[in-house]
């Protein structure tokens, strides 16, 4: 279900972002896979291939909006950004920080392309979700729904703290996708890598 966020008491503007993450992680460690927001270096890395030509852009799990800010700094109009955030406090914070963006309190595994992009599909998806802590069927649903929202040449960008792509190969094969590492940064705590996930050409699909 897609809903506009309300602003609970925990969405206090003066609360430091790192404390917001600690509180959210403590309340639901499986859904909030990090205890600190991503750094500026990772934000630049995961958004560096995104231009205004990719608009509209879908962001999953924006948290406090570090990647969102990088997208706007890269020239994207906030009105061309759709932010899907499961944490209600984070969703309310995003609505306050980026009032021109479309912020929805929702589960990324349950989004609908018909509702989000009925006319023009997204050119890119930026994901701040902790896929490594999720069940394979949840990861499958997230990727399946995200690619329903994407244009044929669109790509899904995902960061990870792990040593390999956080989307298991069987899921990539089943969805007809391929993954390539676009870079990494040690200027993040912890160090992180970014992967671009895109559709394979038909002759490379696995039956």
Tell me, what's the pLDDT at 9? 43
Tell me, what's the pLDDT at 197? 99
Please count the other Cβ atoms lying within 10 Å of the Cβ belonging to residue 16.
Answer: 10
pLDDT tens-place string over residues 87-128: 998 999 999 999 999 999 999 999 999 999 999 999 999 999
Q: Is the pLDDT at 17 greater than 70, yes or no? A: no
Q: What radius of gyration do the chain's Cα atoms show?
A: 16
Strand 57-60 to strand 192-199: parallel, antiparallel, or no bridges (unpaired)?
unpaired
pLDDT tens-place string over residues 53-83: 999 999 999 999 999 999 999 999 999 999 9
Q: Where are the domains of the chain?
A: 17-204
Chain-centroid distance of CA 142 in Å reads: 10
pTM of the model: 0.85
SS3 156: strand
Tell me, what's the pLDDT at 115? 96
Which pair of tokens denotes residue 82? 């759709």
pLDDT tens-place string over residues 35-60: 456 799 999 999 999 999 999 999 99
Tell me, what's the pLDDT at 29? 54
Q: Is the pLDDT at 131 greater than 70, yes or no? A: yes
Tell me, what's the pLDDT at 15? 62
Q: Name the fold adopted by 17-204.
A: Rossmann fold (3.40.50)
**Helices 17-27, 88-97: crossing angle, 10 deg rounding:** 160
Which pair of tokens denotes residue 159? 């960061």
Q: Is the pLDDT at 172 greater than 80, yes or no? A: yes
Query: What is the spatial distance between Cα 59 and Cα 57, in angstroms, rounded to a whole number?
Result: 7
Tell me, what's the pLDDT at 28? 58
Burial 122-149 (b: 16+ CB within 10 A, else e): bbbbbbbbbbeebeeeebbbbbebbbeb
């Amino acid at each position: 279900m897609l809903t506009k966020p309300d602003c609970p008491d925990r969405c206090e503007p003066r609360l430091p972002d790192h404390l917001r993450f600690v509180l959210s992680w403590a309340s639901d460690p499986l859904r909030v896979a990090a205890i600190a927001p991503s750094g500026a270096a990772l934000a630049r890395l995961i958004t560096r291939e995104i231009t205004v030509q990719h608009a509209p852009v879908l962001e999953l799990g924006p948290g406090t909006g570090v990647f969102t800010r990088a997208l706007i700094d890269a020239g994207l109009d906030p009105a061309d950004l759709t932010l899907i955030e499961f944490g209600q406090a984070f969703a309310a914070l995003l609505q306050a920080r980026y009032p021109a963006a479309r912020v929805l309190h929702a589960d990324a595994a349950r989004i609908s392309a018909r509702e989000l992009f009925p006319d023009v599909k997204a050119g890119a998806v930026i994901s701040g979700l902790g896929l490594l802590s999720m069940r394979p069927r949840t990861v499958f649903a997230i990727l399946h729904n995200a690619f329903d929202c994407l244009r044929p040449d669109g790509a899904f960008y995902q960061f990870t703290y792990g040593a390999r792509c956080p989307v298991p190969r069987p899921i990539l094969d089943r969805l007809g996708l391929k993954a390539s590492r676009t870079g990494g940064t040690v200027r993040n705590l912890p160090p992180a890598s970014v992967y671009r996930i895109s559709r394979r050409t038909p002759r490379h699909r696995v039956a």
